[in-house]
Amino acid sequence: MNTINPNHLHSFTRIVPTIKSADVSEQNYTRGYKKAIYTVTGEEVMVILLITGHNNEGRAGIFNEKYAKYRCSKAFVVSIKDMKNKTHIPFAVSFYNPSFIYMPRTEIEDPSYDPDINNIYGSGIYYYKSKIPAFFCNYGKYRFDYYALRIGYNGNCIEFYSDGKTAACGEYMDGKRCGIWKLFYTGGDLHGIEFYSNGMPICCKRYPNDDVDMSHIWEDKCQYGFIVYKDDNKLHSFGKS
């Protein structure tokens, strides 16, 4: 059995005595979701929280509160689960700070929490209000593409901007992107359409007023290159950007 010595816990994690359900309940606190790493296997896991401290849920510019990104100063860890088979996990660590440890039935706190609620990317414990954006979110090298490939994920994918608007949507088959994927600007307008076959981009179409450099995304996704058709439906380029 994999356990952690409480004496070795980072100061951000505080052991909480057995708490009655009346003290920490859904009626009193918002439920939050986020991904973390189970270091024993290296797998990404889902951390279920109750938001017990200050937070920025009242910040300006939220489009869809269910899918927007938030942060808080303190939270109670309800449970940690493997995202594939739903088994309970004894602990997990933060993507950003390996010293920040999550354990079921403990309270976590970030003493450096930024009280400016409109600072979206200020310090704090990040979370979402639903499992969908937490499941599909990307954390630096921990991209959902890599996770999907490891578990052979089959199904839809939706990525979101921090305000809750849809950033991209498409489908995976056997852990690889397939079929039509749509990309959206931060304002909500369609940015482009990509077509994948067995994880490889076959072609893509970008829409007018494209002032965003997407070249790095193509390099990162599969390193195979692409074909670009513009509005006149003529072939304009082929190969890596």
Whole-number Cα distances in Å, 180 to 193, 199, 202: 7, 11, 10
Q: Residue 195: its pLDDT value, please?
A: 87
Q: Residue 202: its pLDDT value, please?
A: 82
Burial class (CB in 10 A: 0-12, 13-18, 19+), 77: buried
What span, in angstroms and rounded, lies between the C-alpha atoms of 48 and 118? 24
What span, in angstroms and rounded, lies between the C-alpha atoms of 4 and 235? 58
Which pLDDT band, with edges at 50, 70 and 90, does 124 fall under? very high
Tell me the two tokens of residue 72.
């808080």
Q: Residue 24: its pLDDT value, please?
A: 57
| CB 192, CB 168: distance < 8 Å | no
DSSP state of 139: B
For the ranges 77-91, 133-147, 211-225, the lowest mean pLDDT is seen at: 211-225
φ, ψ of residue 220 in degrees (nearest 5): -80, -30
Q: Residue 142: its pLDDT value, please?
A: 65
Per residue in 66-114, pLDDT (tens digit) is: 999 999 999 999 999 998 888 999 999 998 888 889 999 999 999 999 9
Q: Residue 206: its pLDDT value, please?
A: 73
**Domain ranges across the chain:** 1-130, 143-241
Those residues whose C-beta lies under 8 Å from the C-beta of residue 21, and which sit 6 or more positions away, are none
Could you give the angle at the alpha carbon of 164 between the alpha carbons of 91 and 145, nearest 5°? 55
Q: Residue 193: its pLDDT value, please?
A: 87
Q: Residue 20: its pLDDT value, please?
A: 37
Per residue in 31-61, pLDDT (tens digit) is: 999 999 999 998 899 999 999 999 999 999 9
Residue 13 has pLDDT above 80, yes or no: no
Residue 217 has pLDDT above 50, yes or no: no
Q: Residue 228: its pLDDT value, please?
A: 40
Q: 201 vs 50, which has greater pLDDT?
A: 50
Those residues whose C-beta lies under 8 Å from the C-beta of residue 57, and which sit 6 or more positions away, are 30, 51, 65, 70
Q: Would the pTM count as exceeding 0.85? A: no
Tell me the two tokens of residue 61.
């510019």
Which pLDDT band, with edges at 50, 70 and 90, does 159 fall under? very high
Q: What whole-number percentage of the chain has pLDDT above 70?
A: 73
How far is CA 189 from its chain centroid?
A: 22
Q: 118 vs 20, which has greater pLDDT?
A: 118
